[in-house]
Structure 1
Amino acid sequence: MTPEHTTTEPVAVIEGLRVEIGGRTVLDGVDLRLRPGRITALTGGSGSGKTTTGLALLGEYPPGARVTGRVRAQRGLIGYVPQHPAAVLNPARRVGALLTDIARTRVRHLPRSRRRAAARERVLDALARVRLPADGRLLRRFPHQLSGGQQQRVVLAQMLLLGARAVVADEPTTGQDALTKRGVVDLLADVARQGIAVLLLSHDRDVVRALADEVVVLHDGRVRDAAPAALPATRTPLGGTGSGEALLDVRALVARHGRTTVLDRVSLTVRTGECLAVVGRSGSGKTTLARCLSGLHPRHDGAVLLGGRTLPPGLRDRSRSRLAEVQYVFQDAKAAFDAYRPVLDQVARTAVRLRGAAPAAARREALTLLAALGLAAEEAARRPGALSGGELQRAALARAALARPGVLLCDEITSGLDPRSRDTVLTLLDGLLRSGRVEALILITHDLDTAARAHRIAVMDAGRVVETGPTPRVLAAPEHPFTRELLAARPPASVPGTPVC
């Protein structure tokens, strides 16, 4: 798709790469070549070795890894945009400072009197190229005040400012709405047109189809010749009818980041047995809403009632039983785990701490739930760094479910999963709702196929709920202009059985 760049000399080469960790083979004989102006897509299920391959280009491997084969970066800097962008953004620096520091290193050849203006011009240009507003409000924010999609675009801007000759994009459209996803596709295509090599690590079949010049499929650390067929999506609502009495009542919720209003009089009702999907573009306030409900953003106005009782706004004001009532599964699962303790211990601790379960019983219950999500006991016994992003996301879901919450908040929990793993997670959520183990479910998602499994959809834009209603009606006959725009940005439906390449 980028014929103007016909240089055959590769920017980076991987030859016969084999990676073993604790006797387990993570990669086995992987070969890869990244060429200027071309986009190579590396696909495969969670845990197939995609991220390990991408990090190998940067000379980084998991602790204790035994590595054979060759990895050569032959032409300049290789940038890396991780699946969880907050991990590489300094939480103590504002966005403007993060970008300006890099821009200054690129203008040192200019006279001192021109450097400040030149650096700012580069920052504004980079922001425009990643579809971020070049205004003072965004530049003054800290990384934690940005949505996941905004954080990812800031990291992309850093790579552009650094002048990378190759970019490894690890699930760059994960957790992004259809409008923003389309912008990222355009951005990566533009990056390639400028002669930069791109390695795209992605589960998203539509993004791979739109971008890739070459597709490489990994399965259990080995290269396969063809991509797996897509699983047909089911549209059956999670949890059955969802027609119980009102459980969660959100009344005129207002929340701010500093002086910026991010939630503007948001009101919602969720019934027992119901699944509500909250959709909207990145930065619309979806995650802030979840943080208010879970007690992580206590400074807000309005009221939140659960089971007819006012829910204290902050975690410190909630008893253990009230903490258990609302559980939050984060978009960035890696940041939600202690890096030095086995995953199983952290999952089981929820039942001990919030329900008073005996440690042995909690451990057995955790193992059963993790196995249902596709995580074997051997994998669960490892530390978080030894698991893939998708595996950690499933572990985070198991940990929250063990609290047996009234309301389970899931923030983009399927966005980093391949279709088969996503179907597994949705099937488990369906079982949790039907069994009553979870009374109600709120899915914060950009994936409209996932949202289609909800009973109702709430659409957010600029901190407000602009439309809400039964899922079939909202998807088939949207009433608000923004909802129509969001649905129009969806890629064409994939044909079941068609390989991504």
Structure 2
Amino acid sequence: MDGVSFEVVAGEITALVGASGAGKTTAALALLGECGEGVRLEGRVEVAGEVVVDGNGVTDVDVRGRVVAYLPQHPGSALNPARRIGATLDELGKLHGGDPVEALRAAQLPTDNGIRKRFPHQFSGGQRQRVALAQVLTCRPSVLVLDEPSTGLDSITRLHLVRELRELAATGLGILLLSHDLGLVRALAHRVVVLDAGHVIASGGLDVLPAAPDLPGTGTSTAHQPLLKAMNLSASVRRELLLRQVDLIVRAGGCLGIVGRSGSGKTTLARCLAGLHERHTGTIHLDDTPLPVLRKRSRDQHRRVQYVWQEVRGSFDERRPVDQQVARTAERLRALAPHQAHAEAVATLARLGVAAITAARPPSRLSGGELQRAALARAVLANPDVLICDEITTALDDRGTALVLDLLGELKARGTALIWIGHDLGLVAAVADEVMVLDAGRVVEQGPPATLTTAPRHDLTRQLVAAARLGTPESPPVASIDLRSEPRR
């Protein structure tokens, strides 16, 4: 990062936009006087009249929480897995004088005791994002730094987020929004700073935003034989049903899209198919052969069904370079020699826009988008027959998404079956041959993407279609969308 300047004004929203690795998070952390190992801060950072960085280093002023609150991109890293969320919120409320109940409400989460007694792992990815936001709001900061706050949120909850952030700014809070979601930026930002390779290349109003490119679809497939089938699939945690009698068929070379609100059961369904959620009933077949849970699958079954999940940072060993961890898949599941596996890993990562010099670093030195693409490369190196993709483009800018879609289109052409789980109905419709809509663990609508986007039958599908237009010229006002649905687990 070199010569970056910007300001956040009370009552306004400033957006930092740019590709993965452009320097957005590094710039935002400087407001807290923080920087990664080996990074030297120079210049001047002033927050609410207090100097955080002066000249060639960080001062002793601590503005974290008291003045500046930071919501990281991956909420799992901000939540204590051993504590119930209610206990953490109550502690933050005592420290900073905030109201935990009001913070939960502002973060669009229920305020009942059942929610407060849950641990972080008992929420979906989108819900964990909102739990982390509730913790931030409990601190009552003057400046709120949001790093990709729409990551993992369905389009309806994303509309809620727009409304809530507008209301927070109206109270005098200064908000710094880090995002590659140009629709969200257009709906919220008062001023925009565009970063590229650590330099400010444009700043001003919304007119400086880059135009969104046309993303390539993966293409529709012709009818092939069924490869993966699930029949009457139900899943539970303790006594609560999360998935209810789901049937699905994925054909070789085809793509099944699964959409729904945060907590509707999408990830639970993916975990069942991947063999990670053992408390389920019903049957799962691969090539008409029953597919057991993961710990009972053979090495070949493990190779044939690969799963790329939403929050990938925790799946990497922080002590080893990323390229070595990606190559390990080909060594273990395909018996490639180490040098062959490493060469294939580097080539696949480069195709996804992650340079060799970047991939040779530990996970902590990669951006969220770079690490998400590395997780995809790791699964692709297994040469799977079925690839389950759970929100794999949420941390990516349009260029990164295009690279991912190009690679997945090639996999489909070779006969790989894709299961694409996403919140963006428009993107899912562009890549899928069939789309399934989940609500409270049930399939409420299913059909070709053209039908679902032009003539939706179920109320939830109609809301998803309307909400997906946020930030586009034809986008309806936020108040005109029916936002009555409560987030479900």
For normalisation by structure 2, the TM-score amounts to: 0.89
Is 1:242–1:271's contact at 8 Å kept on the other side of the alignment?
no
- Deviation string for 1:29-86 (max 9, x for gaps)? 1112122111000001111111111111112212111222122323552111111101
- The corresponding residue for 2:121 is 144
Show the 5 A alignment for 1:343-362. 343-362=322-341
1:257 Cα shift?
A: 2.3
**What CA distance in whole angstroms lies between the structure 1 residues aligned with 2:222 and 2:310?**
25
Q: Provide the aligned C-alpha RMSD in A.
A: 1.6
Determine the C-alpha separation between the residues in 1 that align with 2:136 and 2:222: 46
Contact 1:242 1:455 in 2 (8 A): no
Aligned-pair identity (%): 51
Query: d(CA) in 2 for partners of 1:451 and 1:275?
Result: 10
Where do 1:178-257 residues align within 5 Å?
A: 178-225=155-202, 226-234=208-216, 236=217, 238-257=218-237
Contact 2:433/2:448, CA 8 A, preserved across alignment: yes
Matched, 1:273 2:287: no
Q: Which residue of 2 aligns with 1:167?
A: 144
Closer, same or farther in 2 for the Cα pair 1:90/1:140, shift >3 Å?
same
Cα separation, 2, equivalents of 1:351 and 1:334: 20
Partner of 1:301 in structure 2? 281
1:485 aligns with 463
The equivalent residue for 2:12 is 38
Task: Look up the SS of the partner of 2:7 in the other structure.
Answer: strand
Once residues 426 and 402 of structure 2 are traced to their aligned partners in structure 1, the CA distance between those partners, rounded to angstroms, is 11
Post-superposition CA distance 1:438-465 (Å, at most 9, x none): x200111111232022111110111111
Superposition pairs of residues 66-215 of structure 1, within 5 angstroms: 66-74=40-48, 76-106=66-96, 122-215=99-192
Q: Tell me the distance in 2 between the aligned counterparts of 1:402 and 1:356.
A: 11
The letter for the 2-side match of 1:461 is: D
For the Cα contact (< 8 Å) 1:415–1:447, is it kept in 2? no
Where does structure 1 lack aligned partners over 5 or more consecutive residues? 1-26, 108-118, 497-501
Q: Structure 1 residue 312 and structure 2 residue 283: aligned? A: no
Q: Distance in 2 between matches of 1:197 and 1:233?
A: 33
Unaligned runs of 5+ in 2: 50-65, 203-207, 475-489
The number of residues matched between the two structures is 452
Structure 1 segments (4+ residues) deviating >6 Å: none
The residue type equivalent to 2:190 in the other structure is D
One-letter code of the match for 2:442? Answer: R
- Of the three residues 462, 486, 491, the one matched with 2:440 is 462
Partner residue of 1:63 out of 37, 41, 62: 37
Alpha-carbon distance, 1:242 to partner = 4.3
How many Å separate the matches in 1 of 2:458 and 2:191? 39
Match of 2:313 in 1: 334
- Counterpart in the other structure of 1:12: none
What is the CA-CA distance between 1:339 and the residue it aligns to? 1.0
Bigger Cα displacement from structure 2, 286-295 vs 134-143 = 134-143
Deviation at 1:140, TM superposition (A): 2.1
Shift of 1:105: 2.9
Shift of 1:380: 1.2
Q: Distance in 2 between matches of 1:128 and 1:492?
A: 22
Partner of 1:450: 427
Preserved contact between residue 242 and residue 275 of structure 1 (Cα < 8 Å): no
Q: Deviations over 1:183-215 (max 9, x none)?
A: 111111111111111000011111111110110
The separation in 1 between residues aligned to 2:129 and 2:400, in whole angstroms, is: 23
Q: Which amino acid aligns with 1:468?
A: Q
Residues 106 and 229 (structure 1), Cα distance of their counterparts in 2 relative to 1, 3 Å cut: closer
Decide whether aligned partners of structure 1 residues 420 and 495 sit closer, same or farther in structure 2, where only a CA change above 3 A counts.
Answer: farther
1:139-180: per-residue Cα shift (whole Å, max 9, x none)? 222111111111111111111111111111011112211100
SS in 2 for 1:232: coil
